[in-house]
Amino acid sequence: MINRLIALLTGSVAAVLLALAPLHSATAAEFDAIVPGSIAIINDGDDPNAPIHRYQNAKISADWDTTGRGTQAGDTFSLGLPAEFAVASGQFELLLADQVNSAGTCVVILATGGATARVVCTFNDYVSTHDNVKGSLWVSIRATEQTTSSEIEIVVSGNPVVVPLPGGAPVGPQDFGPVPSQIVKHGWWTEASRTAVHWVILVPGQAAGNGPIVFRDTFSWGQTFDPDSMILQSLDNTQTEWEAQSWVSVPTNQWQLTSSTAQDFVVTFAGPAQANKIYRLVYDTTIDNPSGLVVGDVFDNSVAVNQTTAQVSVFYEATGGGTAGGDGRGGFVVAKRALVGDGASLVAPATTYTVLATYLGEQGSEKSVQITLTAGGSPVGISALPAGTKVTLSEQTPSAIAGVNWKPAQFKANVNPNVRISPDKSSVELTIIGEATLNLTLTNTAEAAGGAAPPVKPVLAATGVELIPLGASTLLLLLGGGLALAIARRRRADV
């Protein structure tokens, strides 16, 4: 008895635990969507095929394709970025043709530890309503290392893909160009997260005159000047020294920050400036609200050196971009017209009719769906079918009704190459069109067995007594009989 009780309790507990166990649902998957042979790197300058030098900007692009994947919202794919290039943080959309809606969002994952940077794209509900979704993407990158090879390796789904560099040449040393002959200003983001800007002011000694150099710098709203980052340097004004970038710090007792406000400052170098030198003033500004940055934000900066002004802007640009498109799904509806035929009055208005729809599902197996219609009712059908799906429709013979012979139902539709109605009109084959709904009508004919159906006899609602229709002659006879009976009763009363 005790053993039976223990077994009973054990089974009960197991049943409860099984009932309380969470149900497993489908989870998002990462899969191979990048087309390896489509990956390319181009120079982001005037000539996309020109060789790249260190610290020059470039773009990496690739095509992606989900055909045959059965992709769902939340699924992801990724593209590894080359270790020889840096990338800025950010995200972008895989835009549809309308340039407003998208099929998903891509996020740049910065390099951490031994892992290189990569871009990860996550699909939204668009892929749940479209098939064969495909597109392209690009990401801005910046060369940070020289290479000895004219090719680099990019990892796609764990496999290395060899990609040629622009111009068929390795990444070369930084191209400093000629020695500057006039005052110029440069600016760029200090790091991938884009929370600060590094500013550089170059002043050739001969352009400053034989005297002190006064820098009056003004920067736009949204930045905070970091005085601790400021340094003044110089080097000999020769092409060799310029390319070597052998900057030497100017002693701090020769220059000073003489004033500073929220959006400007003044630095004075006592000098005198030497004509055979180039001077460089560098400093950083931090972005006041980096989390609020949006594509298109501009940070301006200008400097007046003695009587000459130079200006530059740093833009918060898109990290990348992408396109997407797919085959929209479609469907069909069938509207049941009012019954026709001399037996239609014998059929109750609430009678239902069944249309059988047969087609191949996404996994290649045949599917059959029953569609229930009522005469004169709302159209009913199936939606969200992949474009190109072939659907066969036919109506099952309606339920037998006493006194009614059913004729084959008749399909009708507008002339369309995707709608093929059988010669006897009793069945139809459809080819689903993306982003469209095919409309059909279906009419049933009910014939009275043995001739025209007798008229329906009205019934008194309260008593259930049949109301028998009376002809004119019958009515006159009844009225005459009633009148004679009344006269006879009157005469008896008078006797």
CA distances from 121 to 29, 91, 107, 291, 484 (A): 12, 9, 6, 21, 100
Fold match between 184-315 and 329-448?
A: yes
Q: Residue 468 has what pLDDT?
A: 35
Note the pLDDT tens digit of each residue in 440-474.
999 999 999 875 545 444 443 333 333 334 343 43
Taking only the tens place, the pLDDT of each residue in 353-407 is 999 999 998 777 899 999 999 999 999 999 989 999 999 999 999 999 999 999 9
What is the tens place of the pLDDT at every residue in 123-173?
999 998 899 999 999 999 999 999 999 999 998 888 899 999 999 999 999
* Range 477-487 average pLDDT: 40
Span 294-309, mean pLDDT?
94
Place of tokens 């594509």: 295
**What per-residue confidence (pLDDT) applies to 27?**
67
Average pLDDT of the segment spanning 189-217: 93
The DSSP 8-state label assigned to residue 113 in this structure reads T
| Pick from 33-42, 220-229, 274-283, 459-468: least confident | 459-468
3-state SS class at 449: coil
Sign of the Cα pseudo-torsion (412, 417, 418, 424, in order): positive
Q: Report, as an integer, the average pLDDT of 52-76.
A: 94
pLDDT of res. 210: 81
CA distances from 481 to 229, 474, 478, 489, 491 (A): 125, 11, 5, 13, 16
Given a cut of 90, whether residue 209 has pLDDT beyond it is no
pLDDT of residue 410: 97
Q: What contacts 455, CB < 8 A, 6 or more positions away?
A: 345, 469
Confidence of residue 486 (pLDDT cuts 50, 70, 90): very low
CATH class, range 36-174? mainly beta
pTM: 0.74
When mean pLDDT is compared across 17-26, 154-163, 191-200, 242-251, the lowest value belongs to 17-26
CATH code, residues 184-315: 2.60.40.740
- A 10 A CB-CB count for 22 gives 5
Structure confidence at residue 459 (pLDDT): 42
Task: Give the start-to-end residue ranges of the domains of the chain.
Answer: 36-174, 184-315, 329-448
Percentage of the chain with pLDDT > 90? 77
Mention every residue, 6+ apart, whose C-beta is less than 8 A from residue 343.
403, 404, 405, 446, 447, 448, 449, 453
Write down the pLDDT at residue 436. 94
What CATH architecture does domain 329-448 belong to? Sandwich (2.60)
Looking at residue 31, what is its pLDDT? 86
The string of pLDDT tens digits covering residues 80-134 is: 999 999 999 999 999 999 999 999 999 999 988 888 899 999 999 999 889 999 9
Answer yes or no: is pLDDT of 263 > 60: yes
Residue with the larger pLDDT of the pair 363 and 177: 177
Mean pLDDT across the stretch 322-349? 96
Q: Residue 206: which H helix or E strand, with range? A: helix 205-208
**Complete DSSP assignment for 323-356:** EEEEEE-EEEEEEEPPPBSTTGGGS-TT-EEEEE
CA distance 169 to 81: 19
**CA–CA separation, 306 and 155 (whole Å):** 52
Share of the chain above pLDDT 70, in %: 85
Give yes or no for a contact between 66 and 98, defined as CB atoms under 8 angstroms apart: no
